[in-house]
Amino acid sequence: MAENKLTIIHTNLQKLLKSKMAALPRGFNETRFMQNAMAVLQDTKDIEKMEPKSVARTMLKGAFLGLDFFNKECYAIPYGNKLNFQTDYKGEIKLAKKYSLKKIADIYAKLVRSEDEFVEYIEHGKQYIDFKAKSFSDSDIIGVFAVCLYEDGSMLYETMSAEEVDHIRITYSKMPNGKMWKDSKGEATKKTCLRRLCKPIELEFDNIEQAQAYDDGGDAEFVEEAEYEAIPMPAAKEEPKQTKPLPELKPEPEKEPSALDQWSKLGLSEKDITEKFKILRQVRVEVTDDLASKHEIKNDGDLAAYFGFKALTPSEISKTDYDKIMYFLDKVKKGEI
């Protein structure tokens, strides 16, 4: 039965890859990806219980980002009858280096253990960190830090205590006791810090599918459904039935079209929409200094939040809102606001 399911998944995945060819990264090796993906699925527990199309869609997310399941740059983690997509620490580094608007020389995260020496300080306005790890130490993890070194010599870094990481795991992770945290706590800890570091890093993906796959790869995207035991309720005491006039039926108000619906009605292709948002981000970068000094807007996330949105994506921002933001940036560029 498992072999039949794998055959169906293989066929579905091939069809999806062909239909989404334009969204795949340059130099994508379909043969190698298929071989590695199927090798991983063969060893996936209860694969025969999972819906083939949903499995294929999960694997497709790795293809969009050019990540390799077999080399553990990303994972397909079973939950119930579904597979969940999740990026690994190695995959996060690969994506940051590849898609950062500002060229990255190196980016990494390191665990800090109780026997290590770690100091962070600022001198003459510049940030510095010193780290001396005790070789081969397996003492308790007390924290983690992540560093991004740009080719121009500038640096970003992020630090988190073990308690802070655990708070994020318990509060925000939707699989706080999942396979990643149980089997690879160190890697999960580094990825948590690296994800936070990447928030101010400008990542420019080639298309909407890649951006969505990246968002889905975060640990907080996994939803773990709680199971509840049914509690029998006492039978309600019957009351005399009373006849009441039926309420007047009113038609439900029409739902407002989503931002994506508005874009699609314009007849624009995904490539056209992606190009428009690329232009928006480029304009934002051109006026970075003015935005930061006058409006405290330092990155795309800040700009989206300034207008009340979660992100600068077509799923969040309609054409009307897009025009408002471009008008705002134009005014900033001209020094009028």
In a domain, 246, yes or no: no
- Could you identify the residue written with the tokens 């397996």? 138
Query: Of residues 144 and 273, which shows the higher confidence score?
Result: 144
In a domain, 160, yes or no: yes
Shared domain for 114 and 173, answered yes or no, is: yes
Q: Cα–Cα distance between 322 and 274 in angstroms, integer?
A: 12
In a domain, 205, yes or no: no
Shared domain for 113 and 175, answered yes or no, is: yes
Q: Which of 198, 213, 228 is the last residue of a domain?
A: 198
Shared domain for 120 and 182, answered yes or no, is: yes
Shared domain for 135 and 180, answered yes or no, is: yes
Shared domain for 118 and 80, answered yes or no, is: no
pLDDT tens digits, one per residue of 316-328:
888 888 888 888 8
Shared domain for 20 and 62, answered yes or no, is: yes
Q: What is the overall mean pLDDT for the chain?
A: 83
Q: Cα–Cα distance between 306 and 298 in angstroms, integer?
A: 11
**Whether the predicted pLDDT of 34 surpasses 90:** yes
Per-residue pLDDT, 331: 83
Shared domain for 107 and 41, answered yes or no, is: no
CB atoms within 10 A of CB 310: 12
In a domain, 93, yes or no: no
The conformational region for residue 335 under phi > 0 = left, psi -120 to 50 = alpha, else beta, is: left
Shared domain for 50 and 120, answered yes or no, is: no
CB atoms within 10 A of CB 273: 20
CB atoms within 10 A of CB 1: 8
Query: Of residues 179 and 285, which shows the higher confidence score?
Result: 285
Which domain range does residue 26 map to?
2-86
Query: Which segments within the chain are labelled E, that is strand?
Result: 74-79, 82-87, 104-113, 117-123, 126-132, 141-150, 155-161
pLDDT tens digits, one per residue of 224-279:
333 323 333 344 444 444 444 545 545 544 455 677 777 777 777 778 788 888 88
Per-residue pLDDT, 16: 92
In a domain, 96, yes or no: no
Shared domain for 79 and 34, answered yes or no, is: yes
In a domain, 250, yes or no: no
pLDDT tens digits, one per residue of 186-238:
998 999 999 899 888 888 999 999 999 998 888 654 333 333 233 333 444 44
Q: Which of 150, 166, 198 is the last residue of a domain?
A: 198
Give residue 5's identity as a one-letter amino acid code.
Answer: K
Query: Of residues 315 and 263, which shows the higher confidence score?
Result: 315
Q: Cα–Cα distance between 298 and 22 in angstroms, integer?
A: 32
Q: Cα–Cα distance between 278 and 74 in angstroms, integer?
A: 26
Instruction: Determine phi and psi for 181, rounding to 5 degrees.
Output: -75, -30
Shared domain for 13 and 66, answered yes or no, is: yes
- Could you identify the residue written with the tokens 């199309």? 53
* 117-123 and 126-132 beta bridge pairing: antiparallel
In a domain, 185, yes or no: yes
Q: Which of 86, 112, 133 is the last residue of a domain?
A: 86
Angle between helices 52-65 and 208-216 (to 10 degrees): 110
Instruction: Give the DSSP letter of residue 20.
Output: T
CA angle (44 as vertex; 178, 192 as ends), nearest 5: 30
**pTM for the structure as a whole:** 0.59
Structural domains of the chain, count: 3
Shared domain for 9 and 82, answered yes or no, is: yes
Shared domain for 80 and 119, answered yes or no, is: no
In a domain, 241, yes or no: no
Q: Cα–Cα distance between 204 and 208 in angstroms, integer?
A: 10
pLDDT tens digits, one per residue of 74-133:
998 887 778 889 899 899 999 999 999 999 999 999 999 999 999 988 888 888 889 999
